[in-house]
Amino acid sequence: MQLRILGCSGGIGGTLQTTSMLVDHDILVDAGTGVTALTLSELEQIDHVFLTHAHLDHIAALPLIVDTVGTIRTKPLVVHCLPEVKKSLQDHIFNWKIWPDFGQLPSKDEPFLVWQTIELGETVELDGRRFTALPANHVVPAIGYWLDSGQSSLVFTGDTTSNDALWEVVNGIANLRYLIIETAFPNTERELAIQSKHLCPSLLAEELGKLEHTVQIFITHLKPGAVTQTMAEVQEDALQFGPRMLANGQVFRF
């Protein structure tokens, strides 16, 4: 498997793009503004989208993907997500007011988009590639994902704060190679991080202390305007774990 980072920022501006990752050529994990880096031909090849949650920075491009390539694809785009996420998007986005319901267009029998709900702990296998929903602790229903090629694995936490349930699963992944974990706020905004159920560097260090594997760790979802401060604090608080900042265009092969 190959995973390419399209967007990994907690905001936009300049080259900053919000969360989206391309797996091989045909699967997205989240559909933030990073999707705009893809060409029309690349968008046309996407068959599946795995969403972590319904917040705008993770789904902003989804309505536009369907609208852009729906008429030139031969099969619908399959969106995998929690039942609660499906309901939120149907109620508030694909509702004929904000955007057309492409689950009903061009017809109910042959729509441009179909929903496939996934439950916590459930695994979806696509051509030998396994996507398992992991626990996340956020202000809305949310999950992370364990991506397993059969040879090695990558874990993306999605948006989360302190989360013992996550580490219980992650510590059981024998072939884990990469961990992508969020740290949205600097330590000066620790209370805001706790309130909004994100991590800051001090909380990150506490969470990484629960990890029993030696893996490569990458930090995502940094808030614009505080990137330098937050990463300096990450290096200070979690130095022993060797975390690095995730970057647009970065490619992981596993």
pLDDT at 64: 98
> pLDDT value at position 85?
98
Tens digit of pLDDT at every position of the chain (254 positions): 999 999 999 999 999 999 999 999 999 999 999 999 999 999 999 999 999 999 999 999 999 999 999 999 999 999 999 999 999 999 999 999 999 999 999 999 999 999 999 999 999 999 999 999 999 999 999 999 999 999 999 999 999 999 999 999 999 999 999 999 999 999 999 999 999 999 999 999 999 999 999 999 999 999 999 999 999 999 999 999 999 999 999 999 99
Domain limits for position 48: 2-253
Amino acid identity, position 143: I
pTM attached to this predicted model: 0.97
CATH number of 174's domain: 3.60.15.10
Tally of structural domains, the chain:
1
- Looking at the DSSP bridge assignments, the partners of residue 182 are 220
